[in-house]
Each structure stands twice: as C-alpha cells, then as structure tokens.
A and B are shown apart, each in its own frame.
Chain A
Amino acid sequence: MTLTPNQLDPLDNPRMREVIDSTISEFGDQNGALMVILNHLQERIGFITKPMQAYVAEKLNVPVSKVHGVVSFYSFFTTEPRGKHLVKFCIGTACYVGGASQLIDKAKQVLGIEPGQTTSDGLITLEVCRCVGACSQAPVVVIDEVNHGRVRPSQFARILTEVQKSEVAP
C-alpha cells in the first residue's frame, strides 16, 4: 500500500489516517508499544513521515525526540516513500563472496540508479541489506519480499525487466 512520492502526507489522507489511528489504538496499551506501532506503520503505510512521528508521540504521550530517535536508529524505518517495487540486494558475507557486487553493477546499468535511490517513475527502489538468511542460495536478491537465489548477472536484467513489465500489463 505504498504511496507514490507526490501524494499528501498519510495523516491528511482519510483512509491512511484511519490505518494510523487503528494501529495506535490496537497496540498502544502494550509494554514497549512504540516499536510495535512503528513496525506496523512501516508495514501498513510504507514509511513514517515527520508529521506521523509527531502524531504517534502525541498519542503515546512521549517526546517527539524519542520517536524520532527510535525511527532514525533502525534501518527498516524509512521516512520517505519507496518505489512501488523494492529490489533489495543481500550484501551479507555469503552473498558478497557469491558475487552480489556484480549484480548491483548490473542493476545500476539497467535502471540508471544507485542503491538507496528510486527510479524517476517511482516504480523501483534499489536497496542493500545484510543477510536475509538464505545464504545457501547466494547471491540473493529480494524483490517485493520474495527471495530470488543464485541470481546470475546475465539473468538479472531480465528479472528487472519483468518487474517493469508487470506494471504495464493490467
């Protein structure tokens, strides 16, 4: 349910606002609620903007600085929307030894962006991550939560094109 970059803040979108409110009321009473809520917001909304952080702080009655501190500490939390599809390269040890950097070179060539960036059409975001626990299939690329193992640079361009094409077809 990720937003594209030019949309309003999720707080100003009634449907998103409802998701945010229900997430806070669902988990707000737990011990250590802040992490649980942020994890769910990241999953349900796709990112956690500054205004959202302030909103959570207010609802949980904690300082904004604390929420901001937690969001910035963990690499899973992002403050900006990602592209519609997320392509993550595992650069854990097994994948590094298995040739992950060549796949990244290939993706740069095909998409013209670096890890951490999103294509200008908002379709694909490239990211790197550390070990997704599928090391025996190194190198691993995670595309929208699905692990692709033993990816060769020569196949990889095709995989990326398939992701792009899946958008054109209804």
Chain B
Amino acid sequence: MAYYRSTVLVSMDPVCIDKGALDVKEQLIKELAKHNLSEEVQVLDIPRVGDPETEGPDFLVYPEGSHYIQLTPATVGPIVMEHFIKGRELQQYKAQMRDVTDEELGEPKDKEIRIILENIGKIDPRNIEDYIAVDGYQALAKVLGEMTPEAVIQTILDSKLRGRGGAGFPTGMKWKFARQAPDTPKYMVCNADEGDPGAFMNRKVLEGDPHSVLEGMTIGAYAVGANQGYIYCRAEYPIAVSTLNIAIKQAREYGLLGKDILGSGFDFDIEVRMGAGAFVCGEETALLASIEGNRGEPRVRPPFPASKGLWGKPTNINNVETYANVPKIILRGLEWYTSMGSEKSKGTKTFALAGDVANTGLIEVPLGTTLREIIYDIGGGIKEGKAFKAVQTGGPMGGCLPASNLDLPVDYETLGAAGSIMGSGGMIVMDEDTCMVDIARFFMEFTQDESCGKCVPCRVGTRRILEILERICAGKGVPEDIPLLRQLCSEIIQDSLCGLGQGAPNPVISTMKHFMDEYEAHIYEKRCPAKVCRSLITFDILPEKCTGCTVCARNCPVSAITGERKQTHVINTEICIRCGICKQVCNFDAVVIK
C-alpha cells in the first residue's frame, strides 16, 4: 500500500494558473525530487484552495494543514526545505486563520468542555482547508495508514463512546456487529433527522463543522467495511443540507472521499438524502425505509440494521454527534477521552438549552455534570428571577424532572432511573408559570400527531390520553381520569412496536409522578395553579395601574378590550379568549390573571 507522509494540494484555479501556478508546481516537484522526498510527499492538483485573487498561487499541505500563499517558483525551495526537511512551518508564506464568528454560540462558560462544538464559529464550514488547518482529516490519515479495521473498532470500544442519538448504545459494539455481518455491500448511515422539538445541536454541527461528521463516517466505514454512506437530514434544515453538499464535494476534490482515499485502496462516498417532515423517521428502521423511498414506518427489530438494513444489507447507523466524536478519539487518544465523563458514560454531550433559562443556546459538558450546574452555573438560572419548576429532557419521549432532581448527574443511567431519558440533548427549562398538565397535553398532542399509525395502542391510546388531558385542562376532569391515564400509559408502553410508542407516555408518567398536585387542582378544584389553562382563568385590568395607553385594546385579537384614551380599560370576559397578549404588551403590569 503506497502511503504518503504528506500531500501537497496545489490550486489549479484559472486565476492561479494565470499567476504562475504551473511553474510553482513544476518547481515543487523538482525540489521534492532533489531532496529524495518524491516517495514520501505526493503532489496533487485540486480546483481551488484559498481565494485565488488574494492568495493564489497557493497550496495546502495535508495533513499538517499548512496553507502557503502568494507563491512563486523562488519561494518553493525555502518552503520545501523548512517544512519537509526541518519540519517547521514557514510563517512568512502562511495564510492567517480567518475569523468567523457565530452568534448562536457564545464563548464557552466555566464547566463547559467543547470538543464537538470546538471548531464551530472558528472555521469556515465552506472551506475544507480551514478544517484541515485544525488537524482535520488527520485521524483519517492515521486510520488508513496505520490501523486495521479491527484496531479502529477496539479503540472505539475502549473509548466507551455511546450513541448520542438517544439510546446510548455502545458505538464500538454496533460497528463490530456490522463488521461481522457476512453479507455485502454494507452501508454507513448518519442520522441527521433531529426531530426532537427544542433540540438543535446536530444542526449546528452540520452547519458549522460538517467535515467532522464526514471524517467520522469515513473512519467508521473503513472499520465496518462499507463503501457507500448516506446522511439523512431533515427537510427543515436546508442550510445544513447545502453546507453538507459543499463539504462532500470538496472532500471528493481533495481525495478524502471517493475512490482510493489517500492512496490506501479504500473507497467510500457519501450522499445526502432529505426527509420530508415526519418525526418517526428519526427511528432507525423508519429512517432506512425512508431512504429506500418508502413510507417511513418502523419495523420490528430484530433483525437489527447491522445485519439487515438498507436494501436488506448490513447497515451501521449513528447520530451526527456520535460520528463527530470519532476523529477526536482517534487523534487525541483514549486516555484523554476517557478522562472526561462519568463511570459508564465517557466524553462530553452537547445540549440545547431553551425555555425559561437566562442564557439559551448550545452548550457542551462532560457527561456526569449535574442538572443544577447546567441550568444555574452555565444557563445563568431562571429568567426574570422566577422560580424553577421543571426541566424537560429527551424530547417527546422524555420526562419532566422537578427541583428535587437538580443535583442528579446527567448520564444515560441516572436520567433513565429518574423517569426521563438523555435523548439527543434537548433541555427545556420551565419556570413557575408553566402548567405541567398543559405540558403533558402538549407532548401528547405531538406524539399523537406523529404516530405513524401502525400499532393500535400507539395510534388510539395516545389519542385517548390526549382527550383525557384536554378534558382535565378544560376543567372537566374527573377523579377516575388518573387511574385511567396510568392504565393507558402502561398499555401503550407494552404493546407498541417502536420507541415512539414506547416512550410516548413518559411525559405523562413523569408529570403525574412529580406534579400530581397540579393534576388534582385541575380535577378537584377546577383551578390551574400556574394560571395557564384558558378555561380555568380570567383576565382583569387593575384600575389603579391602568394608564389608558390603549396598547392592550389595539393588540387584542378579538377586540374584547374597550376604553377611551387615558381612561381605565375593561376586558369583556364573554368575548375574551384568554390568549394573554394584553398581559404581555402592557407596560404597567395592569393586566392580571385570576
């Protein structure tokens, strides 16, 4: 196997050629030959590296990531001497890193460790050379040059990396099963469906650091023995799709995807496929059905995708973040990786903090960090000085955890034992003004809507639960509703085929467990303690505070508010739909809920 220590990628942009790129390349080949480096350093043409106008002629040395610019045949000699013989970069001809900033991702806070989010906002995702400059594709070079597929799998097993898509299955184990499956061809699939409302970690990685996912997938493909990969991305993420397509094209141009990658004889290519707005397609068997061009309905497992997946062939499927971990583990080593995290869950996890927390946005913490550290130390606590009520993790299949659980470490086992799940990383913080019965109703509306309808308990059971919760929120609940809800929940869990049905009751079970007092207030007292459920509240304007500014009347969607300018306004409760807009727009806190 020919294996080059380095590859020099020379830009063949017409502008660069005009400025003498061909002479530069000729000189480069001569200089390398002169120093007996032709066997060690490969010279390749690529369409473009940096900006041809300001930087050409230029070339990029891979895997070092050094980008040399504004070259002439005369400068090539010193660069070869310094870079390849003496092993140091020649600063005077090197491009400076571009500064790209990202508004959705602030500076890392104390207690955060950024590995997956490390490059985001720092590199230009549409320029592969930026990724290469931060050690990108070095892990791939190491794997293809020095490691057997078995060694790669062993490394991932030893790293204790677990799937970041929700269930937390050991990634090395999955790869091992796919490698051992006798059938061919094999496929490598990336789950970029990120359907949990409130979660956008995967989007950020795809838009901000797409090559880390491509590199992880390629390493996995080598380990498993796959030659074709698919990234299934939800249609709601058009920018992620286009960024990925650019990244794939550039990786092909650089010989990092396609035939004979880095001269190793290994072939692998990736295509992006788009979803079309079905949450259940995040479930792996449904996702594969969707790539095949079918309705995205889950099927019974086993057989697992590792033995029978896409088109009936062995298929490995992992989440975006799972793949993005892989190059880092290979490059920085097990000792480094396993120093982060808790006993059974190593490494870091990204979370999307949203809801009533002061600092919303993406964060990344070592597994085992407590909920309190995340919400208070990193998230800055609850907005507007209100009280914390619950945190929802794991999306529609997850649960709501109360204040008494705030000191729990976030890892797969602990969250599971507390009645929620890790999920993909959505974390929604709710303050005292949130009605937990209404939240349970909200999630049930979601799962009811997204159930594919294949299993009766999931299709019909979720509808029945939703009806009961709607009834309770409307003040028409009866005491028997509570045992009825419990019974329906356990039936759905038992008799549903896929994780959607099996997890659907979680929001109801967890809110009943921790917030039964709220259910009871709705049922027995016809009262919504958080003052959210519209049938159980009325709005009123306090005359002593109202200045008669008219802003509420102008914003009321149903014209229920009357009053002259500078006179106290009045709400007609017969017309009022209790949307709460008036309370939100009033600058004088004159609107109150009773």
Contact = CB atoms under 8 A, between A and B. Distances in A.
A93 B442 contact: yes
B341 interface: no
Nearest to B452: A73
Contacts of B277: 74-76, 129
Contact of B581 (A70, A106, A133, A138): A106
Interface string B560-575: 0000000000000000
Interface in A42-83: 42, 66, 69-70, 73-77
B293 A34 contact: yes
A93 B392 contact: yes
Contacts of B395: 93
A130 B428 contact: no
A97 interface: yes
A145 B238 contact: yes
Interface in A123-151: 129-138, 145
Interface stretch (B86-94, B171-179, B192-200, B245-253): B192-200
A154 interface: yes
Contacts of B443: 93
B290 A97 contact: no
Nearest to A91: B197
B223 interface: no
B6 to A, nearest CB: 36
A76 B235 contact: yes
A106 B557 contact: yes
Nearest to B449: A130
A154 B434 contact: no
A75 B290 CA distance: 13
B236 A133 contact: yes
A109 B276 contact: no
A97 B434 contact: yes
A134 B581 CA distance: 23
Contacts of A153: 555, 581, 584-585
Interface stretch (B301-309, B322-330, B348-356, B369-377): B348-356
Interface string B240-276: 0000000000000000000000000000000001111
A73 B428 CA distance: 29
Contact of A35 (B290, B354, B361): B290
A70 B295 contact: yes
A77 B276 contact: yes
B197 A33 contact: no
B387 interface: no
A32 B360 contact: no
Nearest to B234: A133
Interface string B320-360: 00000000000000000000000000000000111110001
Which of B194, B293, B443 has the most chain A CB atoms inside 10 A of its CB? B293
Interface residues of A, number: 47
A127 to B, nearest CB: 11
A105 interface: yes
A7 interface: no
Contacts of A98: 355
A157 B555 CA distance: 9
Interface size class of B (residues with CB under 8 A): 35 or more
A133 B203 contact: yes
A159 interface: no
B579 A38 contact: no
Contact of A32 (B278, B292, B551, B557): B292
B202 to A, nearest CB: 8
A66 B311 CA distance: 17
Contact of A135 (B279, B354, B356): B354
B36 interface: no
Nearest to B353: A136
B131 to A, nearest CB: 22
Contacts of B295: 69-70, 73
A119 interface: no
A61 to B, nearest CB: 13
Which of A66, A93, A97, A134 has the most chain B CB atoms inside 10 A of its CB? A93
B580 interface: yes
B169 interface: no
B200 A130 contact: no
Interface string B376-397: 0000000000000000100100
A38 B274 CA distance: 10
Contacts of A96: 197, 442
A35 B276 contact: yes
A93 B430 CA distance: 11
A34 to B, nearest CB: 4
Nearest to B392: A93
B593 interface: no
Contacts of B452: 73
Nearest to A101: B579
Contacts of B291: 32, 35
A94 interface: yes
Contact of B585 (A74, A130, A154): A154
A73 B278 contact: yes
B54 interface: no
A94 B585 contact: no
B149 interface: no
B87 to A, nearest CB: 43
Nearest to A60: B293
B354 A94 contact: yes
A131 B196 contact: yes
Nearest to A108: B557
Given A35-B293, A93-B198, A97-B354, 18 more contacts: A31-B311, A32-B291, A34-B293, A42-B276, A70-B295, A73-B295, A74-B276, A93-B443, A97-B355, A102-B580, A102-B581, A130-B446, A131-B196, A135-B197, A136-B352, A136-B354, A154-B584, A157-B555
Interface of B: 104, 194-200, 203, 235-238, 273-279, 290-297, 311, 352-356, 360-362, 392, 395, 426, 428, 430, 434, 442-443, 446, 450, 452, 551, 555, 557-558, 577, 579-581, 584-585
28 contacts: A32-B273, A35-B273, A38-B276, A39-B274, A69-B295, A73-B452, A74-B276, A74-B296, A77-B276, A93-B426, A96-B442, A102-B579, A105-B577, A105-B581, A130-B195, A130-B279, A133-B199, A133-B236, A135-B198, A135-B199, A136-B353, A137-B360, A138-B355, A138-B360, A153-B585, A154-B551, A154-B581, A154-B585
- Ranked nearest first, the 8 interchain pairs of A and B with the lowest CB-CB distance are A92-B197, A74-B276, A131-B197, A109-B557, A34-B293, A133-B200, A76-B277, A94-B354
